[in-house]
Structure 1
Amino acid sequence: EHLVLRLRRELKDTSALGEYGARAIHGALAARGHPRVPSVRTIGRILARRGALDAGRRIRRPPPPPGWYLPDVAGHRAELDSFDIVEGLALAGGIRLEVLTVVSLHGGLPGSWPRPLVTAKTTVAALVEHWRAFGRPAYVQFDNDSVFQGEHRGRDTLGRVVRTCLQLDVTPVFVPPQESGFQAAIENVNDRWQAKVWARFHHDSLRALHERSRRYIRAYRQRAADRIEAAPPRRPFPGDWEPDLQARPAGVVIFLRRTSEAGTVRFLGRHFEVDASWPQRLVRCEVHLSTETIRFYALRRREPNHQPPLSEVSYVFPRKPFRG
């Protein structure tokens, strides 16, 4: 061991390549004809044991809790449902098929609705059906598909799905575009559905697919029964609820975004200045429709419990009739 350490010091001072790690020491010993040259791995263990490694050992940080970007969800005080669309499927004869899927973050409560085409109207029908049966979560999460968010053309658009969620006192959350991890739970359900339902059988018709999907989802719920029971409570669906898409939206809509180099974000067809000292970072953008403000909060996976406010701006959602 003393020879290894002495040779390391020598190579550190004299090596033309500036290399004095385990591999360089092994090569130097072999070049000098040393009768017993230890392996590279053994030399590495000697250096580690004697504290002669320059690089610190990699620190593995624990992952943030599920839903870390929403404090109530991360603290297991509120449930979140994630909806998504499985696209690119076709039945025999080339009949196009899409599947709307859902899963709750804490409980793992699943659902699926195969259809020729998933639209905003069919999505509203599915989420109302799901929430009537199992209760409403506090939050519902989507990607930025126009089916969920509304038309991307123009400014200040809140579509049918968002308006329905707000009227049911469920806060819509839109994940950052092209960011991994936020939709992991629903993507896992999508993969399982495609493997266990779609790819497992030959489906002669949409009706046959519906039945197989229904059986799979029922079995999935039974297996997840304990987890569903332990999840944050869901609220009863209001018995007297009637949709009113022309009502002025009220409540909160959340957009998760990554700032630009200038510290700005874009959503609702607009650019908003957040904080020039927070460039290329994640932020939670809370659009408070009732108080006509947008509040921005800093987000860091490494510090999920530290979400300080960055700024606040005025925002008035325009009064205009809903068309959609």
Structure 2
Amino acid sequence: MNEKELREQAIKRYENSEFAKDIYRSLGKSKAWFFKWLKRSKLEGENWSQSQSRKPHQSPKRIDEMMEQMVIETRKHLENKLYSQIGALAISYDLNKQGIISPPISTINKILRRNDLIHQKTKYIPKGVNYPSLVISHSNYLHQIDVVGPRYLKKDGRFYSVNIIDVFDRRNSTNPERRQNRIAVSKGLLSSWKTLGIPLYEQMDNQLSMRGSNHYPHSFGLVIRLCLYVGIQPLFIPLREPWRNG
């Protein structure tokens, strides 16, 4: 006999003038169990003996559909921005910048997973092309520079890090900046030269802030001119091969 049939039998016995105490004791049930189903039999019609879901009609942790759509749209917007971060922190920062109170980071990650918006990075496969390389013999022979970011800090916002490393002895200089433009890169270089010394070569990638200007592609940008001014030879890595930098 299943639970539904047990409930129906108990109420039928009660309607046949059997004492309630004798009924629920003989069935191995409690007094509360019996009177719960007696009450339902009188109030809920012919389906009274069926179990009801305990799940609340409204879950306090359920993600608002409009907010979920905003998270998805923000993610897609960031994906279309060159060099933009697209993770939960970046989405949260962008929503707050729009004046929208962002859901918790864990909630944003749940939305991304549920909508298949978390992608595994493809492993870089070398092209098999050999490029000439310098023979590093001492400190301040070759420095490598890279700009990492954007990154985000709670209650502080977005920042970038201009990182420079001496390839010979691995000494490094880390310089946080609000932007990743030519001014920020130049400030990072000047700071590194004060602490690490001035190298013979400064290796960098082909990021716009380092190579110059799209409007004047045949002119030297600020970073190149700064290096040449202090006697440093700028050295650019091959296009689309950022792994060659540090």
Please confirm whether the aligned pair reaches a TM-score higher than 0.5, indicating the same fold.
Answer: no
Relative to the length of structure 1, the TM-score reads: 0.33
Larger-gyration structure (1/2): 2
- Which structure has the highest helix share of the two? 2
What is the TM-score when the length of structure 2 is the normalising length?
A: 0.43
The structure with the greater share of residues assigned to strand is 1
